[in-house]
Amino acid sequence: MTARTIEARSARRGFGTAAALVALTAGFVGAAPAAHAADAQSMQWYLDAMNAEEIWKTSTGKGITVAVIDSGVDPSTPSLKGQVLKGWDAAEAEGDETDDRTGHGTTMAELIVGTGAGGGVKGLAPGAKVIPYRVSDTELQNKEKVNAFDQQEAIRAAADSDARIINMSFGSDFYISPIREAVKYAQEKGKLVFASAGNAATDGNKKHYPAAYPEAIAVAATGKDGKVGDFSNNGDYVDLAAPGANIPGYCDKSLTRYCDQRGTSHATAIASASAALIWSKNPDWTANQVLRVMFESAGRGEDWKEGTVSNYLGHGIVRPGAHINRGVGAPGDPDISPLTNTKVGGKGGTAGGDASSATPDPSAPASSQAPEDKSGDDAVVAGSSTESDDSGLPVWAIGAAAVVVLAGGAFAVVRKRRSA
């Protein structure tokens, strides 16, 4: 047992055809040493770093719903009471979408919308709501017969729901066409689809799906120092980074203890919550406009070369406060995706909205790949300033968040801006 927990990479089923099942790697979290529930908020260093209290004076995510496709979400934890809407069990296993057998999905939901009640985790967007969609992992598949098409069906169901944002804190090394088409469908419906970039940077660093699909927003994980974690996958598909190390999460399915965890799963949830804050402040914007502002307001150092995107940070570290409190970032064309530079999911699409027809379930217990860049990568020397901006993260840390050692020096590797 180490001092931290890293998301376990467990196999799950693939969905080429009903008969042909492919082993996938799912990013559902394992356990780490326990911390008492009362200590959970003291572990949430990133809330201070992002000046969350100032953000919440303007936006808490109210009116925005986030679909959480994961291991299930238990709505009975103190921090989630009243925050979870009726969802769907795509896994078709025993129980329903409120039966979380690992604690992973419940952790993601709390990171997004938790109220902090009872000393639990305080979500970055506590005014938002979540809709849970349960999908299976290897443990569940080994115990019960499950729906082999649960991922693609859950994504499509979420795309057809009132949720504006879809959070997918899981993934695998395998490209599955029906899942890619489901993600594309969600984008066409005007949704923002966030997915974890993966936790295997030191174990092959293969592209991680669904994050690497062009229509998904791939999220890498950073630590307290603003640097990308050594576990966080990197590559030309990474779009954004968010805090993802030393984050409190449930140790196991008992949901009684929080542990010190790390993973791109956690970073993805925080990125989804950041989008909810911005969208809540600007409810008439399309998904394209929200994402463009997230890209333009992301934290980058003074040495970041104009017009480039980092293989480690993407467009930078999420900073919802930079837009909400200081107006950084322009929404731009509502119909053009900043991911692919194509017309999709704008005013002509269904942007979704507040889940006004959905209410807390009364029966419940009390990541983007782009075309290959032919120009190659440039190595940029990391900044050394110790000044801070309103994100609370040192400028030098933001700018040098993804660090590799080259010729004895620290460099941030960046790539040219991508287009479709």
Chain segment 1-42, per-residue pLDDT in tens:
333 232 322 222 222 222 222 222 344 533 333 344 447 999
Chain segment 304-321, per-residue pLDDT in tens:
888 899 999 999 999 999
The phi, psi pair for 300, rounded to 5°, reads -140, 145
Among 10, 70, 315, 323, the active-site one is 70
**378, β-bridge pairs:** 414
Active site residue 315: no
Yes or no: say if 158 and 188 are a contact pair by the CB < 8 Å rule: no
Apex 219 CA angle, 97 and 201, nearest 5: 105
Collapsing DSSP to helix, strand or coil, 287 comes out as helix
Q: Which amino acid is at 257?
A: R
Active site residue 265: yes
Q: Give the DSSP H or E segment for 17.
A: none
Percent of the chain with pLDDT over 70: 73
Q: How many CB atoms sit inside 10 A of residue 17's CB?
A: 11
What integer best gives the mean pLDDT of the chain?
79
Alpha carbons 317 and 165: distance in angstroms, whole number: 19
Among 79, 96, 104, 272, the active-site one is 104
Is the per-residue pLDDT at 417 higher than 70? no
Active site residue 150: no
Alpha carbons 418 and 340: distance in angstroms, whole number: 8
Among 10, 232, 265, 368, the active-site one is 265
What pTM was estimated for this model as a whole? Answer: 0.80
Domains in the chain: boundaries: 5-355+365-416
Alpha carbons 172 and 160: distance in angstroms, whole number: 24
Q: Which two tokens stand for residue 273?
A: 């919550």
Task: Tell whether domain 5-355+365-416 is in CATH 3.40.50.200.
Answer: yes
